[in-house]
Amino acid sequence: MATKKKSPQRATTPAELERLLTRGFAAVRADLDNAAGALDIRSRSYTVRARIEAARLKWSAIREAHGFKADTAAHLLSVDIAKTQKNTDATYALALLPHKMSGRVNVCAFEDSCASSCVAFSGKGGTPQVMRSRAARVAFMLEDPRAFAWVLFDELDKLERSGERVAVRLNAYSDIRYERVAPWLFDWCGRVMFYDYTKHTTRSRPADSMPPNYRLTYSVSPRTKLDEVHAAIDAGRNVAVVFDARAHSKSDGLPHTWCGLEVIDGDETDERYADPVAVVVGLRRKGSLRAGAPLTACAVELDNAASLEERAR
């Protein structure tokens, strides 16, 4: 009798992942509120410490399953992302295995042609050890959202209490709407400056839903329409565009304007929260991204459409 083949497991969708994380972070907030009592929550009551220790044991076990030594002190947030090291402020990033690379979940709701040339794989990002580390973070997030939320909260809370000027990218290579998943976290960490790139338009990440210490930059992609560019700028959200200029090339410069907007050099630093408002963040193509690829060709098409629109007025 022939054995029945198992159908491949369906990957968790971005919306499903956000629902899982929302429940996880809501549980952490409830635990914090219940543990507070007459104590200052930041004094780390026994209950809070126990929750964090249990979550870190889970994180250590998942890392061990991915080929790393057991280590309850291992961090979710990284400081060794090449681009963020250009920043003046100490910058921490949550680096996940991008889009559907884990085979279990899609962490990028609007992945398109950028998937094959994602900057996540530039430099040491494509090495087996780094990819396993990012896969472990995805597994932790998916398998135990509550424990994941506790560890991330623990690390962010320590940054908040340090009193130092720090910045955090929660989506180094993902596009999760943390303002929906854990809105309370931004108020809790009010001194931390959060920032990210996103392919969500202002419809799915409206400006009035954003915490004051979380700044987004809208990333143009082949599916971007000109009115979405206008909507982002009108909402006070800058626009990031990848041009055909080559990275590390002294001869390839960025245009001065795009769609009638000033272009600033986004490769000099990653401090997007310090950018002036209503500008285009110009980025040079990197890694395996070829000249004329859809991601850079769309920049030309949108600029041409903006010129036609202006002449028609």
Number of helices (H), then strands (E), in the chain = 8, 9
Task: Output the CA torsion sign for 8, 9, 15, 18.
Answer: negative
Question: What is the structure's pLDDT at 8?
Answer: 57
At residue 199's C-alpha, the angle toward residues 80 and 181, to 5°, is 75
- Given a cut of 70, the residues of the chain with pLDDT beneath it are 1-8, 36-44, 112-126, 248-252
Contacts of residue 128, Cβ cutoff 8 Å, sequence gap at least 6: none
Determine the Cα–Cα distance for residues 256 and 241; give it in Å rounded to an integer. 13
Q: What angle, 0 to 180 degrees and rounded to 10, lies between the N-to-C axes of helices 145-162 and 46-65? A: 120
End-to-end CA distance of the chain: 72
pLDDT (0 to 100) of residue 126 = 60
Q: Are 90 and 167 in contact (CB under 8 A)?
A: yes
CA-to-CA dists, residue 143 to 61, 137, 140, angstroms: 12, 10, 5
Q: What are the DSSP E strand ranges found in the chain? A: 77-78, 90-94, 166-169, 193-198, 214-219, 239-246, 257-258, 261-265, 280-285
Residue 257: Cβ within 10 Å count? 12
Nearest to 288 by CA among 116, 128, 124: 116
DSSP three-state, residue 172: coil
Question: Which has the closest alpha carbon to 303: 221, 202, 222, 226?
Answer: 226
Alpha-carbon distance 11 to 183, whole Å?
A: 26
Render 202-257 in DSSP notation, one character per residue. Answer: TTTS-GGGS-TTEEEEEEP-TT--HHHHHHHHHTT--EEEEEEEETT-SS-PPPSE
- DSSP tag of 173: S
State residue 251's pLDDT score: 54
Token pair listed for 266: 């986004």
Q: What are the tokens at 203?
A: 């419809």
Confidence at residue 115, expressed as pLDDT on a 0 to 100 scale: 54
- Per-residue pLDDT at 43: 59
Number of other residues whose CB lies within 10 A of the CB of residue 313: 4
Residue 195's SS3 state is strand
d(CA 167, CA 160): 10
Tokens for 227, please give them.
Answer: 């009115």
Name the residue ranges covered by the structural domains of the chain: 11-195, 220-313
Tokens 């100490």 found at = 90
| Cα three-residue angle 231-234-237, rounded to 5 degrees | 85
State the pLDDT at residue 290. 81
